[in-house]
């Protein structure tokens, strides 16, 4: 008989940030760990999200047994609807993670047929030759787990995302004991988070944020807006508790903020003090010193709640001089321009904006720094090690970090990238054949708008529906449009047939400009997104077609 081997098959998240997805295969059985997404780069015009290419799983669909999710961040669960649309797998995750997945599946009308299974830390499940134990870890989101996967060849530890928080705000301690017990018995392979390997020392506890928040609450004498990731339930709890202590009512603003807090509260993970909630439409009528606003939009996304507030285009309230705005989140690399543009708008409105690194901090990371990662390596003491989650520089640095274990049984370290497999058998471990991987660009966020190659997609898109270029000249000093917008179209409608349609389209763009504030008109990112959304809605309604819309704004 041919000896069976264990294959580690990264389908996303290695050599890049986001799209975390990995398959483990032993013989004819495959389990998938996480199915994440990432947001597109600026050059991917018309693309809403990017997911891994699941071709390998489709080609081996009769062997894929289950999807295991480590936690509820979008870079680990965001592609779940797109994977389940191709393979209706049973899904295993903690209750909070599954609740976040259910929200996504419901948006795609897939919830009824989904096979969702709740697990909790300490549970063990058997899937084919794999026995999987869920191990509680601390992270910036609740209910995160590492996986101990026992295979016929040995134990594989997959850490998921983690930091070793010795004083978590919910008092649910990192289960170091179970990981150490596996380390004593012997671990074949460790797959460990590399995100913060560049940072020296240990990552600070979530409790480190409280002194800074207390200082802000004690000093703020007017309205207090705090933006943080809606999934950071520990942070939200601290803000709710402090608001209660300082006699402030709390308004939840932003779709994700409202839905995630409802989920966490329903599961008993978030305690909301009685009588503390305030409806957004009541913010302006309340005494300013008695209001906290918890708002989404930390990364300056053009249509997010905080971005709309920054340009005075929110239906419920406005920033007034003396208000305090806190960005209790990290600046994700690549998002600097929209975030600082938003901060400029807020400062222009007279707000005191608190952001960035300071001591004590207003935000702490959910990922372990170098010493956290060393502690994980020392506890597990694997025979083989492959760093995961990060760009090549992080993976390489994490591999170097593990070299001290050479004297303690570590035989080899493998730096893998997406698509590069690792094979293990009784003779050892080695890099194997590459598998088909790539990025799938998704337009409009719907299952049937998936296209596998952005170039092919654009060419097909242009050949079928053409493109429309609204050209708007905006006076730099006044923020006003110089005349009616021009519309250039190719491959969409003929000049004779489309003159009335394009004339109406000009009016749509002009109306969007008129209904925007001067600050919005001065923000290219916001205006391009608003024009694209309004024009797309109009053209689909009138023609049932989806041309590529690329607003061009000229500053004169």
Catalytic positions: 193, 367
Contacts of 151 (CB under 8 A, 6+ apart): 6, 24, 26, 129, 130, 188
Using CA atoms, how far apart are residues 313 and 429, in angstroms rounded to an integer?
Answer: 57
DSSP output for 274-312: TT-EE-GGGTTTS-GGGEEEEE--TT--TTSHHHHHHTT
77: its two tokens: 């669960």
Taking the alpha carbons of 10, 14, 16, 19 in that order, is the dihedral positive or negative?
Answer: positive
CA 457 to chain centre: 24
Cα-flanking dihedrals φ and ψ of residue 266, to 5°?
Answer: -65, -30
Q: CA 533: distance to chain centroid?
A: 22
**Cβ(176)–Cβ(378) below 8 Å:** no
* Whole-number Å distance between alpha carbons of 123 and 341: 47
Strands in 54-143 per DSSP E = 64-68, 90-93, 115-118, 124-127, 130-137
**In 95-208, alpha helices (H):** 95-107, 176-185
Beta bridge pairs of residue 442: 49, 450
Q: Contact, 26 vs 429, CB < 8 A?
A: no
Tokens 């026992």, residue located:
150
Residues 6+ apart with CB under 8 A from 314: 253, 305, 308
Contact 70, 104 (CB under 8 A): no
Q: 548 Cβ partners below 8 Å, 6+ apart? A: 45, 46, 458, 461, 462, 465, 466, 467, 468
Cα(391)–Cα(546) distance, rounded to whole angstroms?
Answer: 35
């Amino acid at each position: 008989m041919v000896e069976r081997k264990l294959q580690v098959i990264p389908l996303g998240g290695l050599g890049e940030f986001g799209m975390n997805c990995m398959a483990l295969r032993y013989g004819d059985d495959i389990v998938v760990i996480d199915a994440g997404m990432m947001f597109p780069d600026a050059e991917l015009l018309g693309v809403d999200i990017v997911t891994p290419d699941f071709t390998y799983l489709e080609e081996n669909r009769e062997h894929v047994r289950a999807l295991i999710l480590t936690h509820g961040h979008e870079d680990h669960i965001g592609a779940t609807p797109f994977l389940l649309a191709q393979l209706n797998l049973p899904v295993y995750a903690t209750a909070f993670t599954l609740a976040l997945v259910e929200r996504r599946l419901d948006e795609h009308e897939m919830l009824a047929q989904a096979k969702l299974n709740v697990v909790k830390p300490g549970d063990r499940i058997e899937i084919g030759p794999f026995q999987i134990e869920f191990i509680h870890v601390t992270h910036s989101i609740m209910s995160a787990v590492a996986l101990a996967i026992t295979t016929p060849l040995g134990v594989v530890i997959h850490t998921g995302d983690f930091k070793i928080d010795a004083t978590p705000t919910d008092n649910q301690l990192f289960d170091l004991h179970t990981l150490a017990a596996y380390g004593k018995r012997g671990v074949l392979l460790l797959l460990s988070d590399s995100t913060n390997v560049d940072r020296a020392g240990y990552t600070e506890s979530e409790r480190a944020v409280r002194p800074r928040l207390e200082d802000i609450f004690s000093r703020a004498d007017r309205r207090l807006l705090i933006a943080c990731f809606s999934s950071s339930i520990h942070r939200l709890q601290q803000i709710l508790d402090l608001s209660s202590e300082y006699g402030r009512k709390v308004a939840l603003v932003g779709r994700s903020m409202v839905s995630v807090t409802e989920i966490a509260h329903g599961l008993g993970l978030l305690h909301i003090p009685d009588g503390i909630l305030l409806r957004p439409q009541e913010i302006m009528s309340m005494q300013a010193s008695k209001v906290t606003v918890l708002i989404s939009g930390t990364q300056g996304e053009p249509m997010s709640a905080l971005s709309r507030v920054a340009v005075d285009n929110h239906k419920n309230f406005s920033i007034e001089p003396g208000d305090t705005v806190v960005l209790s989140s990290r600046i994700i690399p690549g998002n600097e321009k929209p975030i600082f543009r938003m901060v400029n708008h807020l400062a222009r409105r007279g707000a005191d904006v608190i952001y960035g690194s300071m001591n004590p901090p207003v935000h702490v990371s959910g990922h372990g720094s170098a010493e956290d990662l060393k502690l994980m390596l020392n506890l597990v003491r694997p025979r083989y090690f492959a760093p995961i989650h990060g760009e090549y520089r992080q993976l390489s640095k994490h591999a170097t970090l593990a070299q001290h274990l050479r004297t303690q049984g570590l035989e080899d370290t493998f730096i893998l990238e997406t698509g590069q497999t690792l094979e293990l058998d009784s003779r050892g471990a080695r890099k194997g054949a590459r598998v088909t991987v790539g990025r799938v660009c998704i337009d409009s966020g719907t299952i049937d708008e998936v296209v596998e190659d952005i170039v092919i997609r654009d060419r097909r898109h242009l050949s079928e529906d053409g493109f429309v270029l609204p050209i708007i000249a905006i006076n730099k000093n006044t923020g006003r449009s110089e005349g009616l917008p021009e519309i250039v179209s190719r491959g969409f409608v003929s000049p004779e047939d489309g003159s009335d349609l394009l004339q109406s389209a000009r009016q749509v763009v002009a109306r969007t400009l008129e209904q925007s504030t001067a600050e919005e008109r001065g923000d290219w990112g916001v205006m391009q997104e608003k024009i694209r959304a309004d024009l797309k809605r109009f053209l689909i309604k009138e023609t049932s077609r989806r041309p590529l819309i690329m607003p061009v704004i000229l500053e004169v």
